[in-house]
Amino acid sequence: MPADGIARQIAERLESASWIREMFERGLRLKAKLGADQVFDFSLGNPSNAPPSAFFDALAEVAAERDPGRHRYMPNAGFPEARAAIAGYIRDEYGYPLGDDGVILTSGAAGGLNVALHSICDPGDEVIVLAPFFPEYRFYIEQAQARMVLVQTDENFQPDPEALAAAITERTRAVLVNSPNNPTGVVYTPERMRALTDVLARRDSDANPRYLLQDDPYRRVVFDADRPCAPGGWYPRTILAASFSKDLSIAGERAGFIGVGDGVPQRGRLLEALTMLNRTLGYVNMNATMQRVLTRCAGAISDISAYRANRDLLCGALRKLGYDLTLPGGAMFVFPKTPIADEIEFCEILARSNILAVPGRGFGRPGHIRISFAVEPRVIERALPGFEKALAACRTVPGGA
Ligand SMILES: Cc1ncc(COP(=O)(O)O)c(C=O)c1O
């Protein structure tokens, strides 16, 4: 136990996350000093849309119910009618066979990931994560006593099957994928996803299972015609962890789910483990009210066109200024290269114009920044001169663009 009264491993994790906290705290300080409308905060991935009216209607109906038992504990996997509604949603959306009993209702995709990781990992097992990645994965994986192994994607942030093959060991238990991706907004192509699962399939067996853990909260926040692919349709040992946080704009309601398709090997035992952990990890179930709301509106969606318009506005303008970026196909982020190698220094330069972005190294790819476009369009418009000034400032830096 270190001197500050918290566990050593937690103190280390706090330290490794400190730059994210720093950005967040800087934003708060700047807003207090200058007023919120003078600060261009692109640091948070909090959905900026309103939830759809179907959600509010369902919420009003559920709030009016007075019959007894509505707010008591529910079965650990969720109310049967809510599981059935979400199973129907998964079948429509992903297109593979999945019985109603293959759904477990969780506290967001994050709750689902934690339940899944604890269900499948023994201490010392390895979970491969494709970088750039959502930084909380490391904490989830280590809390399940497993080890995160990073594998870089290619220069367009697409999975690199050869790099994956080289990283798989006897202890690899899962590969965690997230597409549309946080922080890049990139949607993995079906070809790359297939190549990735081909690599996994060659090493998978009942004695040494290799799961594909699909973290999918951004699935319906996409800007192009094609839906992201659904690897559970061809790689049976897939566990889906997803939520309505982003597409219904209800991230604070913690409405998530796990989906286990009919073809998952040893499915019954897996479901038993997931169901037990949904309780013993500290009741990380979706709450009762939300379960009943989603029973009524599982297929609804908020207006994604606002994110598409923001993507076009921001990415078009940044490219015109000379920023080097891969156009995001979904989610609410873009991950441009920084004009100087040290992206923390570049974040400092942006902060001089009251622009807050997040350095790429915490996402596993230095030399980039994450910009969230879950903001009002006028925030983007008013920040553009600052983005221009920051680029110009780098042209005078040795090694700058
Ligand atoms: C990639 C990724 N996975 C999981 C989560 C957690 O989502 P949820 O709110 O559904 O728990 C987030 C939240 O931002 C995310 O970006």
Beta bridge partners of 368: 337
Cα angle 179, 183, 189; round to 5 = 30
The ligand 1 atom at the shortest distance from the C-alpha of residue 134 is 1
97 prior amide bond cis, ω within 30: no
As for ligand 1, residues whose beta carbon falls within 6 Å of it are 45, 108-110, 134, 178, 182, 215, 217, 243, 245, 251, 256
Average pLDDT, the chain: 94
Instruction: Report which residue type is found at 21.
Output: R
Tell me the average pLDDT across 68-86: 95
Cα of 290 vs its chain's centroid, Å: 20
User: Is 1's pLDDT higher than 60?
Assistant: no
**pLDDT tens digits, one per residue of 382-400:** 999 999 999 999 987 655 6
What is the CA(65)–ligand 1 centre distance, in A?
31
Q: What is the per-residue DSSP string for 135-175?
A: THHHHHHHHTT-EEEEEE--TTS---HHHHHHH--TTEEEE
SS3 content of the chain, % helix, strand, coil (to 5): 45, 15, 40
Q: Where would I find the H helices in 210-304?
A: 267-280, 288-297
The ligand 1 atom at the shortest distance from the C-alpha of residue 178 is 1
Mutate to test the pocket of ligand 1, among 113, 140, 157, 243 (most ligand atoms within 8 A of CB): 243
Instruction: Report which residue type is found at 46.
Output: N
- Distances, alpha carbon 367 to alpha carbons 29, 104, 186, 363, in Å: 26, 39, 17, 11
Question: Domains plus CATH for the chain?
Answer: 8-51+303-395 (3.90.1150.10), 53-297 (3.40.640.10)
What confidence score (pLDDT) does residue 396 get? 72
Q: To the nearest whole percent, how much of the chain has pLDDT over 70?
A: 97
d(CA 333, CA 325): 11
**pLDDT tens digits, one per residue of 256-280:** 999 999 999 999 999 999 999 999 9
CB atoms within 10 A of CB 20: 16
What is the CA(242)–ligand 1 centre distance, in A?
8
d(CA 376, CA 370): 17
**pLDDT tens digits, one per residue of 8-32:** 888 888 777 666 677 778 888 888 9
**pLDDT tens digits, one per residue of 149-197:** 999 999 999 999 999 999 999 999 999 999 999 999 999 999 999 999 9
Query: Exposure pattern of 327-350 as b/e (b: 16+ CB <10 Å)?
Result: ebbbbbbbbbbbbbeebbebbebb
The model scores a pTM over 0.85? yes
What is the CA(106)–ligand 1 centre distance, in A?
12
The ligand 1 atom at the shortest distance from the C-alpha of residue 256 is 10
d(CA 217, CA 187): 13
